[in-house]
Amino acid sequence: MAYFFQQLINGLQLGFVYALIALGYTMVYGIVRLINFAHGDIFMVGAYLGFYALTLYHLPFPLAILFAMAGCTLLGITIERFAYRPLRNAPRISALITAIGVSLFLEYFSSLKFVFGPNYLAYPRPFSVCIYQIGTVCISNIQILVVGVSVVLLLILQFIVQKTKTGMAMRAVSYDKNTAKLMGIDVDYIISVTFGIGSALAGAGGVLYGIAYPQIHPFMGIMPGLKAFVAAVLGGIGSIPGAMLGAIIMGIVETMCSAYISSTMRDAFAFAILIIVLLVKPTGILGKREIEKV
Q: Using CA atoms, how far apart are residues 42 and 294, in angstroms rounded to an integer?
A: 36
Among positions 56, 130, 134, 183, the unique one binding other proteins when judged by CB under 8 A: 183
Q: Using CA atoms, how far apart are residues 237 and 35, in angstroms rounded to an integer?
A: 10
Any contact of residue 90 with other proteins (CB under 8 A)? no
Q: Using CA atoms, how far apart are residues 293 and 222, in angstroms rounded to an integer?
A: 35
Any contact of residue 130 with other proteins (CB under 8 A)? no
Any contact of residue 180 with other proteins (CB under 8 A)? yes
Cβ partners under 8 Å of residue 134, min gap 6: none
Q: Min. distance of Cβ 12 from other proteins in angstroms?
A: 29
Cβ partners under 8 Å of residue 39, min gap 6: 21, 24, 25, 28, 198, 199, 202, 225, 228, 229
Half-sphere exposure of 20 (CA within 13 A, CB side): 35
Using the contact rule CB under 8 A, the part of the chain among 37-45, 72-80, 178-186, 197-205 near other proteins is 178-186
Among positions 17, 34, 146, 185, the unique one binding other proteins when judged by CB under 8 A: 185
* Element housing 122 (H / E): strand 121-122
Residue 164 or 215: which CB sits closer to other proteins? Answer: 164
- Interactions with other proteins, residue window 2-21 (CB under 8 A): none
Among positions 63, 82, 155, 186, the unique one binding other proteins when judged by CB under 8 A: 186
Q: Which residues bind other proteins (CB under 8 A)?
A: 165, 168-169, 171-172, 174-176, 178-187, 291, 294
